[in-house]
Structure 1
């Protein structure tokens, strides 16, 4: 693979995945993590085409409606609920004219609340430069996993791991992605860093991803403080406190469908 990005643009709304997007569950489908970042990138481009409203993305939910094949996709963005201080956008990913992902993003006004800022429920993580890389590709196949620099704070445990994730690849070739889009492009990795059961014996793909942010992330690293729970009737949840290099930034949740192979 000699490409330096996860996607290549075809036109204003269409993108072609590179082999670096290859999934962990199947080699002929996309890993959702970079696709989630691409959706945020499409939202950013939609917002850049209009006057700046001063709103910032504070929550985004992705519902995965179908198998994201390793093929070109089209992303359409529209405003569902306009507003000067609160706005709701929807982005739909189409493949062969069929929706495979539907995302909704809440944008909130950006104002100075520094005098009351605090909380977040977590301490600042050990910085990634002080940690050793973990060969995540020894557990998971696929071009996406192979593209990552993964640095756990301690050896990964079943159902519990805290790790930094980064990549040298651009999100879209020839286009500048925002820090937020590049950050979100790594969040869905959470379901693969703290596996409760070996993926050679059990499947536990997520059917959604929801990210809540109390501040905008900074830097080139996505910090994932992740816990995975399996229930007794085929459902599971991957819960993550999200960090950047200066501290916690929000939370992510993924609903899992758990089944034996």
Structure 2
């Protein structure tokens, strides 16, 4: 199974496509979780599936020592370009399922539904076990995914989005295909990119295959991999409750100490 990698054409406009994401507020949420659930101050942080550094860069600016990882070389190059003068941040091309580092971290985050792009059961197990191996005792792991309760209640619909800046204008059409039995939604994206200066069009087609999780299913995977589930809550709402109306959910976990 190949994890989804952004095409070269999309790597160039990744940040423009997701310009409406408020990464600072999401980093506030991460820090709120650290304060409430970590038994020790967080210093070292792994940002798994970091994209172009939307979370890694502001967290490094908040004085965390951050390693950002992504499976896409082109996306990592973009992240490096954006963070040249930040000493406590580095980016590496890595696969969540089998990366090996000679260091362990106080915490790991996997934001923007990164775990949803790991769709095969055996690969979910591999990724969780691998992340656990790279966390220090009592290390915290935080990630968000699509909530299966909400996906099945409010079926995904076709969406159209227009984005532009002074260089390009983009029309993006998202056409979902729900594979309910497999807990997967295939989202077929068609992007038409207009280069304003040259007056040329470029069409890009890409498929995102995203897995959604039901809360008890998620809890089983995590506990089987050696994590204690501290909280499953709505994304950006630490005090909220998860039900069929909440599309994005956050799992807050901690390593279970092994008996000696």
Superposition TM-score tier, normalisation by shorter sequence? under 0.3
Q: Tell me the TM-score normalised to structure 1 length.
A: 0.24
Task: Flag the structure with higher strand content.
Answer: 1
Task: Flag the structure with higher helix content.
Answer: 2
Q: Tell me the TM-score normalised to structure 2 length.
A: 0.24
